[in-house]
Amino acid sequence: MNYIWFFIILLSVIAAAYTGRINETVNAIWTGAQSAVEIALYLAGIMAFWLGIMKIAQKSGLVAFIAKLVTPFARLLFPDLKKDSPAIGDIAMNFSANAFGLSNAATPIGIKAMEELQKLNKDKNSASNDMCTLLAMNTAGFQLVPATVIAVLAACGAKNPSEIVLPTLLVTSFSFVFAIVIVKVLEKFSKPQIASSLKEDSDD
Amino acid sequence: MIKTIIDCISSWLIPFIIIVSLFCGIVKKVPVYETFIDGAKDGLKVSVNILPYLIAIIIAVSMLRASGAIELAQQAFGSFLAMFNIPVDVLPVMIVRSLSGSAVLGMFSDIANQFGPDSFVTKLTAVMVGSSETTFYVLAVYFGSVGVKKFRHALLAGILADVAGIIAAVAVANWLFL
């Protein structure tokens, strides 16, 4: 991530020098910082709402019930999880919210699942295998109906906006399965984690 | 038909989840109001935690878009993309779709307006945007919220899955829309 971040910024400055858009590029820093804060503020309200509801669902035993239903699948994908881990219910809810395009519900619930996985993580600075798998599930972005895209097509007067539903579903299912397979394959080649007791926070 | 059913589920799912959660809470004698406040506090903490990560990602993406680097890439790779029947106007979407959701939606609207909603370019872009997820944003937010600094194989897996998604979108669009 360090190199990618550096590379994007370096590339921007080089391209700006070439196109003569150096002022625009510098201004983009300030507008970018501003919109990051706006997004975080926007997320704050939604996140607070969903985590509030999730806490009720959790205390009333609802999450545990859903978790029990999906445990066999979850243990297949997340072998390090114990049978009664609270993360299983969160992961299931996160996936369902994504599938139905409720991204503002999916993100807070996904983060909660990530926090549960972090509790089980041996090295708090680096992502565990299960955390990488959960991330792959989310970056692949499986969605049943691309509602916003259909809305844009309809607004532009497309003859049949919903004709993209099936092709999009094909592509999104493919990349979801691909993401899971690839993350599991890469897991085998990835450097194993070192327990944090041996290596105390070096760069914190 | 299937779409109406899914649409209906999508719009009723949120009220359903809320009512069922509250109902189960009341039945199990959970103090729902206090519990909600407790959870909401956690939510605010999370959004403060992810802010630095968001700033880092969004600044880099804004700089890239403002610098004109994407237009340069269009000039450089146009003929290469044409070999795979990918119109060069789709290239910015391919680059930005892993970086910023609002930017890619703006680009898609531009393309739909410019080329017409029933053109091949628009349909290809629609499939590409509809099946995309902002990988770098998800990485920053999810790992940022728990303070993970080493992403290990999650980064490469995310990028490879994005590339696979783009290839699949091109293949499916060429198959169904040409």
State what percent of residues in chain A have pLDDT above 90.
Answer: 27
Nearest to B73 by CA among A4, A19, A2, A26: A19
Indicate whether A59 pLDDT > 80: yes
Indicate whether A204 pLDDT > 60: no
Instruction: Return the pLDDT at B68.
Output: 87
Q: Is the dihedral of CA B62, B67, B73, B75 positive or negative?
A: positive
State what percent of residues in chain B have pLDDT above 70.
Answer: 96
Taking the C-alpha atoms of residue B81 and residue A56, their distance in angstroms, rounded to an integer, is 51
Three-class DSSP category at B149: coil
Nearest to A142 by CA among A106, A113, A90: A106
Strand partners, A126: B150
Instruction: Return the pLDDT at B2.
Output: 61
pLDDT digits (tens, 9 = 90+) for A86-137: 888 889 888 888 887 777 778 888 999 999 999 989 888 899 999 999 999 9
Indicate whether A202 pLDDT > 70: no
Taking the C-alpha atoms of residue B89 and residue A47, their distance in angstroms, rounded to an integer, is 36
- Note which residues in 31-90 of chain B have CB less than 8 A from chain A: 32, 35-44, 46-48, 50-51, 54-69, 71-72
Instruction: Return the pLDDT at A5.
Output: 85
Residue A163 is which amino acid?
E
Which has the minimum average pLDDT: A8-22, B8-22, B137-151, B157-171?
B8-22
Taking an 8 Å cut-off on Cβ atoms, the answer to whether A114 and B143 are in contact is yes
Q: Is B8 exposed, middle or buried (0-12, 13-18, 19+ CB in 10 A)?
A: exposed
Instruction: Grade residue A195 by pLDDT with cuts at 50, 70 and 90.
Output: low
Respond yes or no on whether ipTM tops 0.90.
Answer: no
Q: Which residue of A46, A51, A139, A142 to mutate against B (max B Cβ within 10 Å)?
A: A139
Closest Cβ–Cβ partner in B7, B118, B126 for A159: B118
- Note which residues in 34-53 of chain A have CB less than 8 A from chain B: 35-37, 39-41, 43-44, 47-53
Nearest to B95 by CA among B109, B83, B81: B81
Does residue B152 form part of some domain? Answer: yes
User: Rounded to a whole number, what is the distance in Å from the CA of B72 to chain A's nearest CA?
Assistant: 8
Instruction: Grade residue B7 by pLDDT with cuts at 50, 70 and 90.
Output: low
Nearest to B51 by CA among A47, A13, A118: A47
Does residue B158 form part of some domain? Answer: yes
Q: Is B23 exposed, middle or buried (0-12, 13-18, 19+ CB in 10 A)?
A: middle
Does residue B61 form part of some domain? Answer: yes
Taking an 8 Å cut-off on Cβ atoms, the answer to whether A147 and B10 are in contact is yes
Taking an 8 Å cut-off on Cβ atoms, the answer to whether A8 and B55 are in contact is no
Does residue B36 form part of some domain? Answer: no
Closest Cβ–Cβ partner in B18, B50, B176 for A53: B18
Range of the domain at B160: 47-177
Provide the number of CB pairs (under 8 Å) joining chain A to chain B.
Answer: 359
Q: Which residue of B32, B45, B57, B67 to mutate against A (max A Cβ within 10 Å)?
A: B67
Q: Are A71 and A95 in contact (CB under 8 A)?
A: no
Instruction: Return the pLDDT at B6.
Output: 62
Q: How far apart are the first and last CA of chain A?
A: 16
Concatenate the DSSP letters of all residues of B69-126 into one string.
HHHHHHHHHHHHHHTTT--GGGHHHHHHTTT-HHHHHHHHHHHHHHH-TTSHHHHHHH
**SS percent in chain B: helix, strand, coil, step 5:** 85, 0, 15
| Domain ranges within chain A, ordered by starting residue | 1-60, 61-199
Does residue B103 form part of some domain? Answer: yes
Does residue B6 form part of some domain? Answer: no
Residues on chain B touching A12 (C-beta within 8 angstroms): 60, 63-64, 66-67, 69
Higher-confidence position of A197 and B143: B143
Q: Which residue of B38, B127, B178 to mutate against A (max A Cβ within 10 Å)?
A: B127
Mean pLDDT for chain B overall: 86
Q: Are B164 and A175 in contact (CB under 8 A)?
A: yes
Residue A59 forms contact with B (CB below 8 Å): yes
Residue B13 forms contact with A (CB below 8 Å): yes
Could you give the number of structural domains in chain B? 1
